[in-house]
Chain A
Amino acid sequence: MATKTKNNTLKLKFDTSWSYSPAPESKSAATIHKQYDLFIDGEWQKPTSKKYFDTINPGNEEKLSEVADAGTADVDKAVKAARRAYEKVWKKMPAKERAKYIFRIARMIQEKARELAIIESLDGGKPIRESRDFDVPTAANHFFYYAGWADKLEYAFPNRRTEPLGVAGQIIPWNFPLLMAAWKIAPAIATGNTVVLKPAETTPLTALKLAEILQESDLPPGVVNIITGAGATGAAIVNHPDINKIAFTGSTDVGKIIQRAIAGTNKKVTLELGGKAANIIFEDAPIDQAVEGVINGIYFNQGHVCCAGSRLYVQESVAKEVIRKLKDRIESLIVGDPLDKNTDIGAINSRQQLETIHKYLSIGKKEGAEMYESSCRLPGKGFYCRPTLFTNVAQSNRIAQEEIFGPVLAVLTFRTDDEVIEKANNSPYGLSAGVWTDKGSKIFNMTKRMRAGVVWANTFNKFDPSSPFGGYKESGFGREGGLHGLAPYLNLVN
């Protein structure tokens, strides 16, 4: 009964006779309108240009809705509304009242959690299990966490008074649409700022749903304005003269453009950018948990994660075992309909991103690395990519250096602690890192020497509202989450 392949190596069979039936989440629990306008000054306003663009379901390429394309005039309207709300209402409001609005928003997100999760998976392609169990609850928790800070800021910065900055322009990516909106909005308004937020053009729907929640929560008009559009809209926000703070999460390239654009202004800026995290497995690691950590590290959210553990460093003595286990584990990952509750890897967010990933797969092969991908079948329509890993990767390979932002793992080996520290830090990025070992003193050595803003030891891809997140080096600056996430939205006054 034991299965042997031709060359007499053992192989487990995961394509089993007992298999899971489709278990799709019901779309009927969510309401998506045919068309969305801009949420400015507490109202839905038509775009000046009267132009709208489509947002599609990357899981089947069908149109979900169309959203307004905000131009410079619309951005200006939104900024004016935010400024008015800042000066007339929000700045003056007692902090404890501000807090209660934010608590209320958190609760309403919880009440509409199922609907938000469905919309998130439809619009962005992520598996419903992740939207339901991670994105939406974590977003609600983020509001809940920062709500409580609003009237306690004097305790956060010793010997300083705090002042809000004013109007914050916030631009967020498509990988965690609702969660990133929460990461941006919650600390900004808790600290007394007002907001103009632009979701990514491929994933605007949960932010717009959030706008409905803000409206329902009676948040004063103009405190949070949510406007949709592509790069030009983002640029208009960055360049608007009456914005005091830019917060951006996205690619390092765009982060650099923003840094240049605000030169010569007094705008403050926080950037959460790319990464190429090293995940390091030592021979004494809890291997099965490490393998699971690597799987979650790179295949979580289709690998569309800036802190994804995309470079795996395995100590040579356990490399064969680890690679075998990774290959087995990949076979049990289910790729398919994002709305199916059993899906582990959903749809790639856009055709463009799928093409980028494919480009890197061919680069990897050309570079001489050995590619292994899951044997799973992919749906006929929609943007899908099998979980993939490359072995025989060299440090100099592009697949080991550049951010792919997809379910693609580069596996490298090492021999000594010093060697792996040097290799792991050998990157312009410094967002996150992972270390797996059973030895306490080694953990502290490694976590100290990793030049990265978040270091996971014997775990990976963990997030919490109370835990600061952000990068070293070209992964950006400023922190989001926790006590340290307050400072980017405040002036400290003597």
Chain B
Amino acid sequence: MAPARSLTVIPDFTLTARIDQVGAEERASRFTKRSIKKDAKMNGLKLVLNMIDLTTLEGKDTDGKVKQLCYKAMHPHDAVPGIPTVAAICVYPSMVKVAKKALEGSGIKVASVASAFPSGQAPRDIKIRDTKYAVSEGADEVDMVISRGKFHAGEYNFVFDEIAAIKEACGDARLKVILETGELGTLDKVRRASDIAMHAGADFIKTSTGKIQPAATMPVTLIMLEAIRDFYYKTGKMIGMKPAGGISKSKLALHYLVMVKEVLGEDWLNNHWFRFGASSLANDVLMQILKEKTGVYQSANYFSVD
């Protein structure tokens, strides 16, 4: 990756690009009109599978559950050769060590949520300790949440500084900044939060925790991809994108892939720069891959639930 041009000027975030919702939704729906057939479908499905952050973020998570999920991540469907692994496992900080061990040598990353996930309602020092703990346990990636309350109150500097502080706490781990777009209300604010996160040092921007509805939508993801594109043109620095929550069907995931292809192009069409945060998507993708291979519609009973 080329080194970033220096970010000398931090923009006035009250002046970030304006979004017309109706136009954005029209554009987003246009991607769904692409017809993905044959090779494009098979290659697309494999790409989607390989971009998944297989996620479990539950209070009842146990070592056993996480280990099973890690096995699934490495061996999505061994009955068929040539199936790629997922990109990462996404867990709470307390599960990082288990996951790290289970995935050893697989190349699959461990992502940990941190910073008082999912509400973000904690003092900064606790968020930083949360982050440092996750990293010290072996997390390759940290998924933080922004302080939505401060954001709505117009305290953009607070939000900015907090992201920058957590980025520092991440060390070498890549930082994904969750905007929790379902709580932001408008696409204008999605764009503004995206700009703040990227300028403050995010490696990825991410739509949602999965705990709030609506989670990822195509218009929201489009606005974030466009923010990434504009930031790239402005700074030369690439930022990753992770829509999370609500993407459980292959067809929808392929629509997202179309969107990445047509907004950001080749460089982002890989799991270093694009991820799906999802739990049930993987099996639907596997079913579709099998359908393409066999020509027969599939049943969920033939795919492991982890």
Q: Mark B114-144, 1 if CB is under 8 A from A, else 0.
A: 0000000000000000000000000000000
CA distance A10 to B257 in the complex (A): 22
- Is the CB–CB distance between B269 and A16 below 8 Å? yes
Q: Which residues of B contact A (CB under 8 A)?
A: 1-2, 17-20, 22-24, 26-27, 33-41, 43-44, 47, 226, 229, 232-233, 236-238, 257, 261-262, 264-267, 269, 272
Count of CB-CB pairs between chains A and B under 8 Å = 105
Contact of B41 among A2, A21, A342, A459 (CB under 8 A): A21
B208 to chain A, nearest CB (A): 21
Contact of A14 among B2, B26, B47, B265 (CB under 8 A): B265
Contact of B23 among A16, A21, A129, A293 (CB under 8 A): A293
> Which residues, 276 to 333 on A, are CB-close (under 8 Å) to B?
284-290, 292-293, 324, 328, 332
Docked Cα-Cα span, A12 to B229, in Å, equals: 9
**One of B17, B34, B36, B229 near A286 (C-beta < 8 A):** B17
Q: Which residue on B lies nearest to A14, using beta carbons?
A: B265
Chain B residue contacts of A129, Cβ below 8 A? 33
Contact B266 A13 (CB under 8 A): yes
Q: With A20-B36, A21-B41, A287-B17 given, is the CB distance from A15 to B266 under 8 Å?
A: yes
Query: Quick check: B265 and A16 within 8 Å, CB to CB?
Result: yes
**Cα separation A133 to B29 with both chains bound (whole Å):** 12
Encode A11-29 as 1/0 by CB contact (under 8 A) with B: 0111111111111000000
Residue of B nearest to A343 (CB): B35
Distance of A387 from chain B, by nearest CB (Å): 14
CB distance from A315 to the nearest CB of B (A): 14
CA separation between A438 and B41, bound complex, in Å? 39
- Other contacts beyond A21-B39, A459-B22: 9, CB < 8 A: A13-B266, A13-B267, A22-B38, A284-B18, A286-B18, A287-B18, A288-B24, A292-B26, A342-B34
Residue numbers of A with Cβ under 8 A of B are 1-4, 10, 12-23, 129, 133, 284-290, 292-293, 324, 328, 332, 341-342, 438, 458-459
Tell me the complex Cα distance, A14–B267, Å. Answer: 9
Q: Complex Cα distance A324/B43, Å?
A: 30
What chain B residues lie within 8 Å of A438 (beta carbons)? 18
CA separation between A16 and B261, bound complex, in Å? Answer: 7
Chain B residues near A22: list those with CB within 8 A.
37-38
A288 CB contact (under 8 Å) in B17, B232, B262: B17
- Residues of chain A within 8 A of B36, CB atoms compared: 20-21, 23
**Contact call B34/A14, Cβ cutoff below 8 A:** no
- Among A1, A292, A293, A341, the residue within 8 A (CB) of B35 is A341
Contact of B20 with A289 in the complex, beta carbons under 8 Å: yes
Contact of A18 with B47 in the complex, beta carbons under 8 Å: yes
Q: In the complex, which residue of chain B has the Cβ closest to the Cβ of A292?
A: B27
Report the separation of the CA atoms of residues A380 and B96 in the bound assembly, to the nearest whole angstrom. Answer: 56
Question: With A and B bound together, what is the CA distance between A2 and B240 in angstroms?
Answer: 12
A350 shortest CB reach to chain B, Å: 27
Is the Cβ of A2 less than 8 Å from the Cβ of B236? yes
For residue B237, which residues in chain A have a CB less than 8 angstroms away from its CB?
2
With beta carbons under 8 angstroms apart, the residue of B19, B35, B38 that contacts A342 is B35
